[in-house]
Amino acid sequence: MKKRMAALLGALTLGLGLLAGCTNTAGAGASAGGSGLPNAANGTLDPNDPITITFYSYNLSNPSQAETMQAIIDGFNETVGKEKGIIVEGVADEVTGNLTKTKADIQAGNQVNIIQHTFPTLDSSRLNLGIQAYEDIFPADEMEEHFAGIDGGARQLGVIDGKTYGIAFTFSTPVMYINADLFREAGLDPETDAPKTWDEMLTVCRTIKEATGKYGLCLPATATNSWITESLIFSNSGTMLSEDRTEATFASEETVEAFTAWKQLYAEGLCAPGTETEAAQQFFTENAAMYLSSTAVQSSIQQAADAAGWELTGAAEPAFGDKETAPTNSGSCLAVRASSDDEAAACWEFIQYATSAESYTMITTGIGYLPLRSDIVDDPAYLKDYADANPLLRVNMTQLEKIHPSTIWPGNEANEINTIFCDAVTKAITTDADILETLQEAQDQINALIGQ
């Protein structure tokens, strides 16, 4: 049992590394209409002379997710790729999604075509890594037809200044995992007493702590959890950036109010402390009753629950009073760098395959991420059986209908900006520091960087 639990915790640790959204090679190619960019419509694909393109994916570095991602690549190569003359080579990048290998290979002049890219630093890659807008290199009519089945909110997640620099690929909205046995031990019903607001969360956590001695909630104030942090801000009517994306705006009364509710849980010892992995392990090992996280870790948690014999249930993200929640997204999009018309055509074929109903079925059942085509959830040919057996999927799909895009930090300094924001959140929530002063200091630093 101990060896099995250690293996499950290891898989969870790798999965958690993907949740954060944590060399100028812009000459990747230059389009139709004189823009200098490659044009997929002009590409020539020949099954007798196949073209090879690369797909850099951080899922390929995660043992619990690599099999699914490789199966999508292999499925393409054996079907569409063979028919049209395209070979996709998968390249495993760092499991954290920091694009370490991707950037190194671009700098070295290696072929890097499709990138599984996290959202916060997408603008920086647009400016520095030669990421191209879909509208500039792919046929407009084919894009409209293919993406028509993808939920509208999800289609906006990789949009910068009105253009798509990445189509949403693998992601989740925040979902509340519940240890139903701990709820019952505390005299609570896991269905009817699951907290619907943050005021109820405080009450439920106090009840659980008093009755069981266990933590009520796992919600770490860490960089890997920044996407959920943003959801708390948005759900209390706060903002992260101005509408024109020229300044940070998170140091506000709305954010302070949301963070005060979160900080109270830490102050009373109701929220599990530590890193994302450390806090998650508290839930994994039945020392916490609730865990607000991504569906990417659901399979690992379910395996732990089955192994230890406790019941896993779930609920939607809590709200602030009567305000509607604003679920944000974790995960990734597919960004493109094509150096020729032929490469652009090949990339477009693979992207269509990777975002098809068949591929999303594999991603959901194999990894746990949301299918961005909601019509396949109740389709017996795709996900109906899985959804019936995993009710948390429908909870998450309901939240997808009102998704609020997580922040794409503007400009070249996205990595530094994201670090400043995440460090401020950790300080504001887990120490005695004044929340507003801490956030204002970070906001001033960020705005200085944005203004450079």
Mean pLDDT, rounded, for 141-149: 93
Residues 6+ apart with CB under 8 A from 156: 405
Give pLDDT, residue 451: 78
Give pLDDT, residue 4: 47
**Residue 199 and residue 316 in one domain:** yes
Tell whether the model's pLDDT for residue 120 goes beyond 70.
yes
**CATH code of the domain in which 73 resides:** 3.40.190.10
DSSP class of residue 386 equals H
The CA-to-CA distance between both ends of the chain, in Å, stands at 55
The tokens 């032929």 sit on which residue? 342
**Residue 167 and residue 218 in one domain:** no
**Residue 116 and residue 185 in one domain:** no
Q: Note the pTM of the prediction, 2 decimals.
A: 0.88
**Residue 62 and residue 112 in one domain:** yes
**Residue 382 and residue 334 in one domain:** yes
Q: Is the residue at 9 inside a domain? A: no
User: Residues 286, 395, 243, 197: what is their CA dihedral angle, to the nearest 10 degrees?
Assistant: -60
Q: How confident is the model at residue 163 (pLDDT cuts 50, 70, 90)?
A: very high
Q: Is the residue at 282 inside a domain? A: yes
Query: Could you give the angle at the alpha carbon of 258 between the alpha carbons of 252 and 260, nearest 5°?
Result: 100
Q: Is the residue at 146 inside a domain? A: yes
Q: Is the residue at 295 inside a domain? A: yes
Q: For residue 301, give both structure tokens.
A: 């948690």
**Residue 374 and residue 247 in one domain:** no
**Residue 37 and residue 117 in one domain:** yes
Structural domain harbouring 237? 175-328+413-450
Give pLDDT, residue 59: 94
Mean pLDDT, rounded, for 418-439: 97
Give pLDDT, residue 9: 52
Distance in angstroms (rounded) separating the CA atoms of residues 85 and 338 = 17
Tell whether the model's pLDDT for residue 410 goes beyond 60.
yes
Q: How confident is the model at residue 25 (pLDDT cuts 50, 70, 90)?
A: very low
Q: How confident is the model at residue 336 (pLDDT cuts 50, 70, 90)?
A: very high
402 vs 184, more confident = 184
**Residue 158 and residue 266 in one domain:** no
Q: Is the residue at 207 inside a domain? A: yes
Mean pLDDT, rounded, for 331-340: 96
Tell whether the model's pLDDT for residue 413 goes beyond 60.
yes
Distance in angstroms (rounded) separating the CA atoms of residues 336 and 290 = 38
Q: How many domains does the chain have?
A: 2
Q: Tens digits of per-residue pLDDT, 220-279?
A: 999 889 999 999 999 999 999 999 999 999 999 999 999 999 999 999 999 999 998 898
**Residue 214 and residue 285 in one domain:** yes
239 vs 64, more confident = 239
58 vs 391, more confident = 58
Give pLDDT, residue 200: 98
**Residue 52 and residue 103 in one domain:** yes
- Percent of the chain past pLDDT 90, that is, above it, reads 79
Q: Tens digits of per-residue pLDDT, 283-329?
A: 999 999 999 999 888 888 988 999 999 999 999 999 999 999 999 99
Q: How confident is the model at residue 12 (pLDDT cuts 50, 70, 90)?
A: low
- Percent of the chain past pLDDT 70, that is, above it, reads 92
Diameter of the chain measured on Cα atoms: 70
**Residue 116 and residue 139 in one domain:** yes
**Residue 209 and residue 296 in one domain:** yes
